Amino acid sequence: MKNRNTISFASDNSAPVCPELMEALARVNSGATFGYGNDDHTRQMEERFKDLFQCDLRAFPVATGTAANVLALSVLTPPYGSVYCHRQAHIEMDECGAPEFYTNGAKLVLLDGEDGKIAPTDLVAALSASGAGVVHHVQPAALSLTQVTECGTLYTPDEIASLTDIARSHGLSVHMDGARFANAAAAMGVSPADLTWRSGVDVLSFGATKNGAMAVEAVVFFNPEEQAARIKDFEFRRKRGAHLFSKMRYLSAQLDRHLEGDLWLRLAGNANAMAARLKDGLSSCPDVALLYPVEANILFARLPEATIDRLETEGFLFYVMGARQNGQVRLVTSWNTTADEVDAFLSIVRQTGA
């Protein structure tokens, strides 16, 4: 087991880079290549995405999930447009206004919905009241869905399709924030194609950092012929937004290795399995409540305050959400979380009588 001080359920981005990706970095770390993505590693990475998603596409590496989201949104909406998203969406809560900044002021329209998921009826109601075509109102431009949601739940392909059908019928494009797309794909055992373009997604922020990579995500455009103008726009915006990496091979090599031999699914599968173990253990504790269905690698639970205190004293890292006396915590498992770590956490919870 790792040193107790390093047992973290704080976030999957608190985990280290996985050895396979460090090796991939070492492998490409010799000789010269052209910069800015004009290299064989980047071309190979894009081919790998095409194989995985079983379609033609364009894939552009960037360094953060925020960059992926906001650069994607910047080509889906005009400055006077609006992006429909869940009230708890990362683009609303945790991106410091970057969506508004990169879109030159487009508006986020917030939708409620149980367990972090937008309900089709709410989307229809919001779009019906949007004032489309009226010069006084922002114009509906895009729908953004998060998979895995911020509550740790999943959209099935059918649920995605019913939302994207509504979006499409109102002339909106569809973005998916897939910071934890791997966890969703691994949990559902559904093909990446079914979770995206076959269900009506136009642009995907494909996350890798939370799943064992070092600061790399990809913006993936499906139907590149149809989206040619957007893709061109994206390339200029990425450069202007300072996310065109000169040493691109290091980002591309990680994405390429991530997808090779299903490594990405194996890493995410471990995180999901450890979350399931944590869920099973916590479910048997009478004073612990799980706040949302546990479907991937994020759990929200209510614990007695004394249990939180003890876990922190023992050196476990995790976030307490809101007022401490409410006892709400977020627990996130990672590609390298072990059963021993989960059991050590559960043992402390049980020792406090929770």
Ligand X SMILES: Cc1ncc(COP(=O)(O)O)c(C=O)c1O
Query: Which positions touch ligand X (CB under 6 A)?
Result: 64-66, 69, 90, 146, 150, 177, 179, 209
Q: How far is the CB of 70 from ligand X (least distance, A)?
A: 9
64 vs 153 by CB, closer to ligand X: 64
Is the Cβ–Cβ distance between 36 and 245 less than 8 Å? yes
Q: How far is the CB of 291 from ligand X (least distance, A)?
A: 17
**CB 7, min distance to ligand X, A:** 20
Which residue of the chain is nearest ligand X when measured via CB? 65
In angstroms, give the least distance from the CB of 205 to ligand X: 7
Orientation angle between helical segments 248-259 and 40-53, nearest 10 degrees:
30
Shortest reach from residue 54's CB to ligand X, in Å: 25
**Which is nearer to ligand X, 14 or 33 (by Cβ)?**
14
Task: Give Dmax over CA atoms of the chain in angstroms.
Answer: 62
Place of tokens 């973290």: 8
Least distance to ligand X from the beta carbon of 179, Å? 3
Whether residue 124 is preceded by a cis peptide bond, meaning omega within 30 degrees of 0, is no
- The structure tokens 């991530």 sit at 258
Sheet order of strands, 328-332 included: 289-290, 298-302, 328-332, 319-320
> What Cα–Cα distance (Å) separates residue 264 from each residue in 8, 80, 106, 254, 315?
21, 38, 33, 11, 29
Which lies closer to ligand X via its Cβ, residue 177 or residue 341? 177
In a 13 Å sphere around the CA of 337, the CA atoms on its Cβ side amount to 34
Q: How far is the CB of 302 from ligand X (least distance, A)?
A: 21
Shorter beta-carbon distance to ligand X: residue 60 or 349: 60
Q: Which is nearer to ligand X, 52 or 179 (CB)?
A: 179
Q: Which helix (H) or strand (E) holds 36?
A: none
CA separation, residue 72 to residues 11, 61, 178 (Å): 24, 12, 12
